[in-house]
Amino acid sequence: MTDAQRWLLLGALVVLGSLTAIGALYLWPIPAPTSSLLSPYEELWSAMDKGSAGLPLLDSLLAGDDGIAWHAAMAAGREYISAGDPREAARCFRRAVELWPTAEARGELARALEKSGLNEDALEQWTLLLPSDEAARAVHRLEDDPLRAAELLGRSGAHKVALEALIGLHTDRAKLERARALSSLGELPSAAQLYQEYISAVPGDAQARLEYGRLFERLGQNEQALTMFKAAGPAGGLHAGRLLEEAGRHEEALSSYCLSHDPEATWREALLLESMGRTSDALPLYVKLAESAHRVWDDAALRAYVLLSRQGAHREAAPLLEQLPPAGRWLAGRFHGTPVSELRADPSPVTSQATRRAAALLSLLPEDVAWRWARAELEIALRRGSVAERLAIGEWYLAQGDYAAACRVGTAVLAVRPCPQAYRLAYPRAHWDEVQTQARTYRVDPYLVLSVMREESHFRLYAVSPSDARGLMQLLPSTARWIAEERLGISYHVDKLFEPSTNIRLGAWYLGYLLEQFPGGIPWAVAAYNGGQGNIRRWTGGDVPVEDLPAAMRSVETREYMSKVLGSWLIYRWLYGS
């Protein structure tokens, strides 16, 4: 081997060693940048490769306000941890959190603060990471007051660790927190005993009585539940009224609804009055609710409009029609024009440094690795950029097929500048080829499929609900299996629900099936998609005029869901043509 060959080999080994060191941090060897656009990354990767000797350069880079600064802060923090200096590490990780508060960065900060002995500061960060198991354990470990720890853990959903925090505590308050945790974990008889002991000691706690009443309902003991709800006073008025109404004790139900301060109780009161033929008493309640900011305002405005119109009081009904959202006007058969009240011009386009760097990273590195680096550039620019730059980043996400990110960006921009470009991002034609194919196959409006997808998952491929609904169209595994195996005759595995093609196919089939089951059309199918076929039939008696459908919904969630999906559907049709 010649001297030149030896020097060439040595140089190659040095480069290989550098790339391997960087890859140890970010799970892939990173080649040298080929573009001047990425020259700052060359500095960063060089500093990361030098270990503790690179800390001065990393410290200088983390002062920036871009993705390089975030990665530099994270690398510097980890280097300081390796060097046994957690306080300096905490300084770096705090900078990363300031730039882009990911769970990863906050977790590193919390660990560094705890290693530094700054337990109070660490506890603050761990609390923000609840209910992850590591955070729950840290809160249990760091919070001096075990009752306070149990309250924090219980509110976040870390019920098992909350019970651990309560071991050895026998105060009344500890009994209540233990009862709450056990109830959430489904251990109802044990929770009931503790609620009883607590209420005997603290009879004036209306919230505890309300919770105890709900537990009785879950046990199927409605009379005991009713007793608890009544004892809770105004806090239990809605729940007591609902049980009394279901039992046919209508006058008592009205009294309970009147006692409550919850607008939902006023809504139920008005519906009950109307069902009893007392429309003149119900109307003022609907009008009052329509003037409120509560979530029920739009349904109340629609109901008041419908009743006044049926009475021929068109002059009184007209203002209510004007204030209705597009979905309400469509249900009333009075939707005309566009579904948006304000539309401003798109801002002048700008060139985004963040998207240029992101594109360069994607062209240089394997896709999964590149996204780790590029995401920081994009998300930090979103936090700091102008409306025009945020839209440019949203368009870039859209071009990459990251519909969830595009939707998130567009929705945020709509709040400050409702323009066509923001609407297209907030309402993207996600997975459009697949949606069109399946919608055509199962005779469903493709924009309805998109609207359900948007409101169900906001286009997050791996979304999982508390009820275990999965994927883009949030299908329950049991429902998906029934559709796949019994209706379509195709193979099924629960993991396939995270594949767009499978999820969209099953969801589109289900929408088509519901449209066949409910001749009333789209509103009925949408309501059944959320509330279940049996519930919709039971609530409506099989058929009501479409404008009466929201009033027939006994589930707040289903009522709100139907309105959201219809609103999205109208916007999709306006944006892209029906």
With cut-offs at 50, 70 and 90, classify the pLDDT of residue 30: very low
Q: What is the pLDDT of residue 564?
A: 97
With cut-offs at 50, 70 and 90, classify the pLDDT of residue 37: confident
Q: What is the pLDDT of residue 5?
A: 38
Q: What is the pLDDT of residue 519?
A: 87
Instruction: State which amino acid sits at residue 354.
Output: A
Q: What's the average model confidence in pLDDT over 383-410? A: 97
In sequence order, what are the residues at sequence separation of 6 or more whose Cβ sits closer than 8 angstroms to the Cβ of residue 546? 331, 333, 520, 521, 523, 524
Q: What is the pLDDT of residue 578?
A: 64
- On the question of a cis peptide bond just before residue 131, with omega within 30 degrees of 0, the verdict is yes
- Return the HEC string of 330-391: HHCCCCCCCCCCCCCCCCCCCCCHHHHHHHHHHHHCCHHHHHHHHHHHHHHHHHHCCHHHHH
**Distances, alpha carbon 227 to alpha carbons 183, 212, 245, 430, 523, in Å:** 19, 10, 15, 50, 37
The partner residues of 345 in beta bridges, in order of sequence, read: none
Q: Rounded CA gap, 108 and 101, in Å?
A: 11
Level-2 CATH architecture, domain 432-576: Orthogonal Bundle (1.10)
Q: pLDDT digits over 430-460, tens only?
A: 999 999 999 999 999 999 999 999 999 999 9
DSSP 8-state code for residue 32: P
Pick the CATH number of 3-147 from 1.10.260.40, 3.30.365.10, 1.25.40.10, 3.30.465.10: 1.25.40.10
Q: pLDDT digits over 536-557, tens only?
A: 999 998 779 999 999 999 999 9
Tokens coding 79:
């280097």
Statement: residue 337 has pLDDT above 50: yes
Q: What is the pLDDT of residue 29?
A: 45
With cut-offs at 50, 70 and 90, classify the pLDDT of residue 117: very high
Q: Rounded CA gap, 270 and 303, in Å?
A: 10
In sequence order, what are the residues at sequence separation of 6 or more whose Cβ sits closer than 8 angstroms to the Cβ of residue 16? none
Range(s) for CATH 1.25.40.10 in the chain? Answer: 3-147, 178-311
DSSP 8-state code for residue 33: P
List, in sequence order, the alpha helices (H) in 385-445.
387-399, 403-414, 420-426, 432-441
Contact 184, 131 (CB under 8 A): no
Instruction: Indicate the SS3 state at residue 127.
Output: helix
Full-model pTM: 0.90
Q: pLDDT digits over 491-536, tens only?
A: 999 999 999 999 999 999 999 999 999 988 999 999 999 999 999 9
Helix (H) or strand (E) holding 94: helix 86-99
Pick the CATH number of 178-311 from 3.40.50.1000, 1.25.40.10, 3.40.50.2300, 1.10.620.20: 1.25.40.10
Contact 344, 367 (CB under 8 A): no
Contact 105, 112 (CB under 8 A): no
Burial 434-464 (b: 16+ CB within 10 A, else e): bbebbbeebebbbbbbbbbbbbbbbbbbebe
Statement: residue 371 has pLDDT above 60: yes
Q: pLDDT digits over 261-292, tens only?
A: 999 999 999 999 999 999 999 999 999 999 99
In sequence order, what are the residues at sequence separation of 6 or more whose Cβ sits closer than 8 angstroms to the Cβ of residue 544? 552
The partner residues of 470 in beta bridges, in order of sequence, read: 464, 475
Q: Rounded CA gap, 432 and 244, in Å?
A: 48
Q: Residue 475 — φ and ψ, nearest 5°?
A: -95, 135
Mean pLDDT for the chain overall = 93
- Region of 33 (left: φ > 0; alpha: ψ -120 to 50; beta: rest) is beta
